[in-house]
């Protein structure tokens, strides 16, 4: 892991924890006032994707062709996603009382677009969680992939036009449109005409990441952080404090206020890569092995936590907040750790295929369990 990116891994872990807390409050407790603005951390993931997309195109002598770049992104998370997908399908089979293995397989085929990461492409009419999506967090992965399919070729072949025309317009117009029409950035499965809002949100976040990379390059060339160190340090510290305040002040803020935190995420990524300010230098130079591990671990937390949320809803419905959370958090942490260990130790795709087939067979057996 490059030293200059370790602080970004810290924020990646922070973002994953925030999202799993948000989904616990929203979908298990069904109380929207628990961590109400934590949904905005998804924008951090989009922004990081766009930032490193531009870094790859600009700094690599021979950038990958678009299909290979997108495939490289997908294969990094798809094996553990597939496992979490079929675990979720077992929970779906239990909670919906499917009566035969043919019904199990027929319903499984219904979720084909989600498995193929195309459910944000608009192929499902009026999509709803639990009916057309198995997992509430996979819309982000679908939107990220589709946004890259659009943005990467533009950035690769029309770089100046993409950076100086497409990106500013997309960031301003899409974010403004979502705020004005939806009242929030917390949109995923709502249609705007024939376009799913998730794609718009993903493309805007990717463009924001590309613009952040431009700012990073300009600041690096001008030694901006060294020339204006007190000012930049104040911006950095203020951004960390502002994002941390989401956990305490979120109930008193409107959903529109969440847009401000996209700027804070840009600060984290830009200054983290520049590695010239107090917080970034500390995070990039201390506990780097632990932070690198947490950054990698964040993917598995993001993929696993929905299984546990829905499992709690089925097996332990109606628990109060603190007792349920005392079960939820340890189970998520251990489950994600186990999936991470499996993913790291496997050799090739065969173990993943075998495990997925076992999970499908288990789902088919559910209707016959007394």
Q: What is the pLDDT of residues 258-316, one digit of tens each?
A: 899 999 999 999 999 999 999 999 999 999 999 999 999 999 999 999 999 999 999 98
pTM of the full predicted structure?
Answer: 0.94
In the structure, what pLDDT confidence band is assigned to residue 348 with cuts at 50, 70 and 90?
very high
Residue 63: both structure tokens together? 């950038």
Q: How far is CA 345 from CA 340, 342, 349, in A?
A: 9, 5, 11
Give the pLDDT confidence of 80-130 residue by residue, as tens digits: 999 999 999 999 999 998 889 999 999 999 999 999 999 888 888 888 877
* Rounded average pLDDT over 33-39: 80
Q: For residue 136, give the nearest of 128, 147, 144, 125 by alpha carbon.
A: 128
Alpha-carbon distance values, 81 to 43, 137, 258 (Å): 20, 11, 28
Percentage of the chain lying above the pLDDT 90 cut? 73
- Predicted confidence at residue 120, as pLDDT, reads 87
Q: Taking 80 as the threshold, does the pLDDT of residue 370 lie above it?
A: no
Least confident range of 75-79, 187-191, 336-340: 187-191
Question: pLDDT grade, residue 189 (50/70/90)?
Answer: confident
Per-residue pLDDT reduced to its tens digit, 314-346: 998 888 778 889 999 999 999 999 999 999 999
Looking at residue 338, what is its pLDDT?
Answer: 97
Q: Which two tokens stand for residue 250?
A: 């979120």
How far apart (Å, rounded) are the C-alpha atoms in residues 105 and 101? 6
Q: Which secondary-structure segment (H or E) carries 251?
A: none
Residue 351: the pLDDT is: 96
Check residue 191 and give its pLDDT: 85
- Alpha carbon 315 to chain centroid, angstroms: 27
Closest alpha carbon to 206 in 153, 246, 250, 133 = 153
Asked whether residue 2 carries a pLDDT value surpassing 50, the answer given is no
158 contacts: CB under 8 Å, gap ≥ 6: none
Confidence band of 27 (pLDDT split at 50, 70, 90): confident
209-267: per-residue pLDDT in tens?
999 999 999 999 999 998 998 999 999 999 999 999 888 766 677 878 889 999 999 99
**In the block, residue with structure tokens 């559910």:** 366
Q: Is the pLDDT of residue 16 over 50?
A: yes
- Give the other-Cβ count within 10 Å of 62's Cβ: 5
- So what's the pLDDT on residue 293? 95
Question: What is the structure's pLDDT at 162?
Answer: 97
List the chain domain ranges.
Answer: 3-368
pLDDT of amino acid 1: 41
Count of other CB atoms within 10 angstroms of residue 257: 15
> Cα–chain-centroid distance for residue 337?
18
What is the rounded average pLDDT for all residues in the chain? 91
pLDDT at 137: 87
Per-residue pLDDT at 250? 63
For residue 32, name the pLDDT band (cuts at 50, 70, 90).
low
């Amino acid at each position: 892991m490059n030293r200059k990116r370790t602080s970004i891994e810290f924020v990646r872990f922070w973002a994953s924890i925030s999202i799993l807390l948000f989904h616990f409050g929203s979908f298990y407790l069904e109380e929207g006032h628990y961590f109400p603005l934590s949904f905005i951390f998804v924008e951090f993931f989009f922004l990081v994707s766009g930032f490193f997309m531009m870094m790859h195109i600009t700094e690599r002598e021979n950038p990958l062709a678009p299909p290979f770049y997108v495939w490289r992104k997908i294969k990094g998370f798809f094996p553990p996603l597939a496992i979490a997908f079929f675990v979720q399908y077992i929970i779906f089979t239990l909670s919906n009382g499917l009566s035969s293995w043919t019904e199990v397989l027929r319903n499984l085929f219904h979720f084909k677009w989600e498995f193929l990461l195309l459910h944000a492409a608009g192929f499902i009419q009026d999509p709803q969680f639990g009916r057309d999506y198995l997992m509430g967090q996979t819309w982000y992965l679908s939107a990220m992939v589709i946004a890259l399919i659009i943005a990467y070729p533009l950035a690769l072949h029309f770089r100046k036009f993409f950076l100086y025309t497409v990106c500013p317009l997309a960031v301003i117009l899409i974010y403004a449109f979502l705020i004005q029409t939806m009242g929030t950035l917390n949109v995923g499965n709502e249609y705007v005409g024939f376009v799913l809002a998730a794609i718009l949100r993903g493309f805007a976040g990717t463009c924001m990441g590309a613009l952040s990379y431009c700012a990073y390059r300009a600041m690096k060339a001008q030694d901006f952080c060294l020339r204006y160190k007190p000012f930049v340090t104040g911006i950095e510290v203020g951004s960390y404090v502002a994002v941390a305040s989401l956990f305490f002040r979120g109930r008193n803020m409107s959903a529109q206020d969440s847009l401000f935190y996209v700027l804070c995420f840009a600060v984290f990524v830009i200054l983290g890569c520049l590695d010239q300010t107090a917080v970034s230098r500390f995070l990039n130079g201390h506990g780097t092995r632990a932070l690198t591990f947490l950054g990698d671990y964040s993917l598995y937390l993001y993929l696993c936590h929905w299984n546990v949320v829905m499992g709690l809803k089925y097996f332990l419905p109606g628990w109060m907040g603190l007792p349920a959370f005392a079960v939820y958090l340890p189970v998520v942490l251990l489950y994600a750790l186990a999936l991470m260990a499996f993913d790291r130790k496997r050799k090739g795709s065969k173990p993943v295929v075998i495990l997925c087939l076992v999970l499908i067979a288990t789902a088919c057996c559910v209707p016959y369990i007394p």
